[in-house]
Amino acid sequence: MARGELKQDPLLSDYPIADISANKWQAHAEIRPLDYELEIGGMTIPSDKLHSTMYQIASDLRKRGIEVDEASKIVPSLWDEKRDLDGWALITLGDICRKMGIRERANHGGFEPRKRDAIRMAIDKAARISITVSESPRNSWRRVGLS
């Protein structure tokens, strides 16, 4: 995703996608709206508005995709460390910042607001990325994502 190779393919999706296939794997990543973004107060958001918003996020990924890639790799590792017997984990923005090597400010406490907000925005964008594996070495199909 960080390479910004997102394109439009109406046969696969209405939203921006990127081919992320690798050796013996066929897969694509797709930027989709989150469930709570599909309607406001019971009113469905027009699809053209959703499409333009997802394409704006895709455009932003071309500029700042590295942050999103780094942050999205950290969340599953934190989940693996913190999950309980039911598979739930409480992961805070502070946990993600610490894992990314951002230090808390000694004189004010907390993290520098611009760095913290950049990580928060990266996680927000990563939550919209859905990966569809259509062909794997086992010929199985599954859908994964951070949302």
pLDDT tens digit string along 4-20? 577 777 777 888 888 77
Residue 129 lies in a domain: yes
pLDDT for res 2:
54
Return the DSSP state at 139: -
CA distance 49 to 40: 13
Q: Residue 85's CB: how many other CB atoms inside 10 A? A: 5
Look at the pTM and tell me if it is higher than 0.75.
no
- The range of the structural domain enclosing residue 70 comes to 17-145
Q: Which backbone phi and psi does 8 adopt, to 5 degrees?
A: -105, 130
CA distance 56 to 110: 30
Q: Which backbone phi and psi does 68 adopt, to 5 degrees?
A: -65, -45
Residue range 88-106: average pLDDT? 89
pLDDT for res 73:
80
Residue 126 lies in a domain: yes
Residue 11 lies in a domain: no
- Counting the structural domains of the chain, the total is 1
Residue 12 lies in a domain: no
Q: Residue 49's CB: how many other CB atoms inside 10 A? A: 11
Residue 38 lies in a domain: yes
Residue 32 lies in a domain: yes
Residue 30 lies in a domain: yes
Residue 135 lies in a domain: yes
